[in-house]
Structure 1
Amino acid sequence: MAGLWLGLTAAAAAADEPRTFRDWMAGCDNVRTCAALSLPPEAAETVAYLRLERPAGPDGAPRLLLRLRGDWKKPPAALQFRLDGAAFPASGGPLPATADGDVITVTFSAKDAAALIEAARKATKLTASAPGVSGSISLAGSVAAMLWIDEQQGRLGTTTALIRKGEKTGAAPAPALPLVAATPVPPMLDMKAAKQQAARLRAELKKRSPDACEDDGADGDSAWSLGDKRVLVALSCSRGAYNFSSSFFIMPENDPARATPLRFADGDGDDGNDLTNASFDPRTGHLGFFAKGRGIGDCGVSGGYAWNGKGFVRTELAIMGECRGIAPEDWITLYRSTAK
């Protein structure tokens, strides 16, 4: 766990680290799309949180949703809301919800989102309920989080600001998404050939540094052809209860002495060649990882890289440093790209 949190710190420091504002967290990615999350109380019996996301640029509209996790026999089709005890929206009617397993989602309309953002200046708590379950969301820190987003997106004093509005129009334009030219790799090595390539490299590393890679992980070793007589090799070097770490190398075929370790920018380590819970898809050239902060996977760091024919370049990075029941798809995104 200590190693993972050092990795989280390294990943966040290399990007722009999310900020915490009392019971809220906020962060922005490389194209200034920003998100703010309410943090459920630790060990909350019912997990409920708000998530606001807004793209940069004059036309970037905020999107606000709520997640509520419950033990449903039949998921409710709507949720009832109260804001410091008063009905929300003012009409008092329930808002429609969609279900995905045990998680209910309410996506607020633009009108209701604007009303809730305005009310957050004075309100302290939003509750969401359905028959048999109720969740509470603290609004402490929400205004500061949204004000910070306004600042990051150049909206302070403009008509598009969430909090500090003014008479100026427009907002800073959004940067273009980085374009990554992902390259599929040649047909996969058969299992026997892949194991042979990995075994040769493991034996070579054993001679150089006997304690560099745990011996009992060899059954998890893999290898893939990269073309031009090069091989991507992943050696399974460390296993825990819910995380396993692999070390990645590019190796000339059948020549382990000339293997070179990869360097993953903003991975789950210190720009080294290790990734946690990694998976490689040779059909797309995509290499992803998901380092869990705990077994249920509600905190940690996830990301990916694409093979471009010469090396692996970063494609995405998301982080959640608080283990509060927040689903990975709602984590703070720090980097995104578009694939060619």
Structure 2
Amino acid sequence: MRRCHWLAVLIGFVSVVITDAAQAFEGMSFNHKDWLLVCDNTGTCRAVGYAQEDSEHPVAVMLTRAAGPDTRVTGKIYLGMTFGDDPSPTSFSLYINGKNFGALSNTPNSVLTDKQVNALLAVMAHKARITVGDAQRQWSISAAGSSAVFRKMDEFQGRLQTPSAIIVKGHRDEMTVPPAALPPQIINYGGRGKLTQVAEGSLRYKQLLQILQRNDDANGDNDDSGCDSVSDEQQEISTVTLANGTELVTTLCWMAAYNYGLAVWLIEPAHPDKAIFQNVEATDFRDGVLQNDFKARGLGDCWSRDSWVFDGKGFQRSGSFSTGECRGIPGGVDPMPDWVTQVVEAKEKS
């Protein structure tokens, strides 16, 4: 009997380990027709539906849900640029299949009420007519792709066949839905310094240029961008000293119509004549964080950002998000991350 007892305990322990392991989330994105889904590593998912791509009246809706049993869904409406000559509605309300579900604020972004969110969720599995506007003029949000996107959200969050599922509801115990995962923590040793341009022709400029050129061959093996190479031509070199004394060095790698990229090196205090190329691309460095902002097209209706934090040895990926598809929403919708972390300043570590 004792052997059976310990076997049962062991099985229970193993099942707990397996359950905990299954609760880990890996960020993902999925799009189908006029809907886009992005989920992050904590389990939070954001789904965005747009007007049809050729619409003269861009509008979008975002529905956001955190991981975990029976979590609440929140929503937001975004009004875009108008490309036609038709006058805009004088006020905005949410209509579903012709029924008015309440007013929206006359601002580019309007937070939805619980009643409005629930009304939208109720028709995600159907080809409903979703519009915003007044009684005379309304702008349409396409329902094409919504069912597939919310089914994927239910699947990612582990809530298929549960009462809280949006598309595939069932009687599976709600408490089997995995809880939200904690974001990884990164200690930021980058400090608060800002990049400062080194004067061309100065002694330090000549020293850095020689160091970067001397280390090209050693550091470029894993780089496909060509940013590890420094030409003989004069170019901007900027530096900042990080919290542990390591020097961060940047040069311009490439420039296009409305984007550019910086190459990044680290020079450690113990090896002042050796520059270590960092296989990351950046547009700025602030508050100890390298950022790479990318504007997908000239209208500025879709952006993305990747970020890395210096952890005392190198740069760790600390965040990644986009502002959705290029569908005429100024600046895009709210950030849709697929990777989030908790960044803690080195001095705050307990």
Scaled to the shorter chain, the TM-score interval is: 0.7 to 0.9
The equivalent residue for 1:125 is: 129
Query: Does the aligned pair in 2 maintain the 1:189–1:223 contact within 8 Å?
Result: yes
Alignment of 1:1-340 (within 5 A): 16-42=27-53, 44-70=55-81, 78-84=91-97, 86-89=98-101, 94-97=102-105, 99=107, 104-130=108-134, 134-167=138-171, 168-170=173-175, 171-185=177-191, 191-192=197-198, 197=204, 200-206=207-213, 212-213=229-230, 218-219=235-236, 221-252=237-268, 257-262=273-278, 272-275=279-282, 278-281=283-286, 284-319=287-322, 322-326=325-329, 327-340=331-344
Query: Does the aligned pair in 1 maintain the 2:188–2:310 contact within 8 Å?
Result: yes
Q: 1:131 to 1:218 in 2, by over 3 A?
A: farther
Query: Does the aligned pair in 1 maintain the 2:154–2:165 contact within 8 Å?
Result: yes
Q: 2-side partners of 1:229 and 1:218: how far apart?
A: 25
Q: 1:306 to 1:336 in 2, by over 3 A?
A: same
Higher relative contact order (CA 8 A, sep 6+): 1
State the aligned residue count: 300
Query: Does the aligned pair in 2 maintain the 1:217–1:237 contact within 8 Å?
Result: no
Q: 2-side partners of 1:82 and 1:177: how far apart?
A: 37
- 1:245 offset after TM fit, Å? 1.0
Query: Does the aligned pair in 1 maintain the 2:28–2:40 contact within 8 Å?
Result: no
Q: Identity rate of aligned residues, in percent?
A: 26
- The C-alpha deviation readout for 1:144-178, integer Å capped at 9, x for no partner, is 11111011111111121112122222321111111
SS at match of 1:144: helix
- 1:64 offset after TM fit, Å? 1.5
Q: Which moved more, 1:251-260 or 1:286-295?
A: 251-260
Q: 1:205 to 1:44 in 2, by over 3 A?
A: farther
Aligned amino acid, residue 175 of structure 1 = A
Q: 1-side partners of 2:94 and 2:55: how far apart?
A: 19
Q: 1-side partners of 2:232 and 2:96: how far apart?
A: 57
Aligned amino acid, residue 87 of structure 1 = K
- 1:230 offset after TM fit, Å? 2.4
TM-score by length of 2: 0.74
Q: 2-side partners of 1:217 and 1:81: how far apart?
A: 57
Query: Does the aligned pair in 1 maintain the 2:321–2:335 contact within 8 Å?
Result: yes
Q: Which moved more, 1:208-217 or 1:239-248?
A: 208-217
- 1:227 offset after TM fit, Å? 4.7
Query: Does the aligned pair in 1 maintain the 2:324–2:333 contact within 8 Å?
Result: no
Aligned amino acid, residue 201 of structure 1 = L
- The C-alpha deviation readout for 1:274-325, integer Å capped at 9, x for no partner, is 23xx2111xx312211112212333353121222222221211013674223
Q: 2-side partners of 1:229 and 1:331: how far apart?
A: 33
Q: 1-side partners of 2:261 and 2:233: how far apart?
A: 13
Query: Does the aligned pair in 1 maintain the 2:251–2:264 contact within 8 Å?
Result: yes
TM-score by length of 1: 0.76
* Bigger-Rg structure (1/2): 2
SS at match of 2:53: coil
Q: 2-side partners of 1:52 and 1:135: how far apart?
A: 18
Q: 1:17 to 1:96 in 2, by over 3 A?
A: closer
Q: 1:317 to 1:123 in 2, by over 3 A?
A: same
5+ residue gaps, structure 2, are: 1-25, 83-87, 218-225, 345-350
Q: 1:83 to 1:321 in 2, by over 3 A?
A: closer
Q: 2-side partners of 1:88 and 1:215: how far apart?
A: 66
Aligned amino acid, residue 170 of structure 2 = G
Q: 1:194 to 1:39 in 2, by over 3 A?
A: farther
Query: Does the aligned pair in 2 maintain the 1:214–1:237 contact within 8 Å?
Result: no
Q: 1:24 to 1:255 in 2, by over 3 A?
A: same
- 1:134 offset after TM fit, Å? 4.0
Q: 1:206 to 1:191 in 2, by over 3 A?
A: closer
- The C-alpha deviation readout for 1:59-97, integer Å capped at 9, x for no partner, is 5211111111257xxx9895123334x1232xxxx4131
SS at match of 2:188: coil
